[in-house]
Amino acid sequence: MIKIPSLWNSYLSWPVLLGLIAGSFELAAYIPSPFFFFLSSLSTLFLYISAITYGWRSGALSASIAYTVTFFIFIIKPDMLLDTVVLLKNIGVISFKFILPIIIAYTLPKKPSWKTLEKVVSIYGYMGILLLIVFMVLYQSSMGMDQIMAILEKLQHQVMEANKSKDTTEVINIYFQMLQLVPGLSIFDFLKQQAFQLLFVLYFFYIRPKIVMPKVLFGRLKIERIWLYITSIAIFGMVFSPSSFWGYMSFNIFIVTLVLFLLNGFDVIYQRLAKRRLKKSTIVLIFLFCYIFGWPLALILGIGFIDQFYSLRRLEA
């Protein structure tokens, strides 16, 4: 007689539960509130926990369940099914968003090092560019650049009016509309979330239990030179663009590649703070502050970009 395995065993119950939580958190993004918007950014964290704790196969199960849960948005907002671009974009972004933690967890060895981080950074870059190309082809074929630029100008005017009236809910709604039209922004947003969550995972699963020392992971990260060239070309394209299409395309590429310099900036800052003998928990709190408030990211991005030309790690503490 074949014995049917119990659903709630240690290697299946938790991945199922973590998948349900991840999907529910992702749905929170559609509630017009800053708190729920922040909550949705933590959705993939539960997929990281599932994949690293129980293996990448269990993580894939959690991702599948979370992805299924997110389809409830089409029951809550059936009008989204009528817009092909919005429909495919949401399906595509969420797919990449849930697949990426599984790929990263599969990449992480038992004792990751700075070389592992370099591999992860490359994965972020290539997946971001691939997703951007898919969306740009979709946008160009369905809407056209003239229509996109006209809508963006209208939304920019609405943002200015909403900021004057201090209507936070309206600003968030307009931001979501802009994400639908500028794929680089949404790609940057979810890759940025992945970067923070990766740092969180490395700390709690590898550094805190002393599986690896921080100096093995941080302080020697170097981005592949090709990303610096791509970013420079994108900046040149934004400044000297012969048409609105190439300016729009250059801006999207530039936004996507910024995530890589964000990770490099974190690597530099961690190395500098560690030299000052700060506790690991204090450094984690500093990074958490940057994630919550957002505005320090510009400084971190600048540090990561400057480090490509002049190694800030060699400065005396």
Q: Could you report the per-residue pLDDT of 19-71, keeping only the tens digit for each?
A: 999 988 888 877 777 778 778 888 888 999 999 888 888 899 999 999 888 88
Q: What's the pLDDT band for 3 if we cut at 50, 70, 90?
A: very low
Predicted confidence at residue 18, as pLDDT, reads 92
Average pLDDT over residues 151-155: 76
Q: What's the pLDDT band for 198 if we cut at 50, 70, 90?
A: confident
As a whole number of angstroms, the distance between CA 192 and CA 301 comes to: 11
3-state secondary structure 132-162: HHHHHHHHHHHCCHHHHHHHHHHHHHHHHHH
Predicted confidence at residue 200, as pLDDT, reads 83
Average pLDDT over residues 127-138: 82
Specify the length of the chain in residues: 317
Average pLDDT over residues 77-84: 63
How much of the chain, in percent, has pLDDT values that exceed 90?
Answer: 5
Residues with Cβ within 8 Å of residue 257, at least 6 apart in sequence:
125, 128, 227, 230, 231, 234
- The DSSP call for residue 207 is I
How much of the chain, in percent, has pLDDT values that exceed 70?
Answer: 82
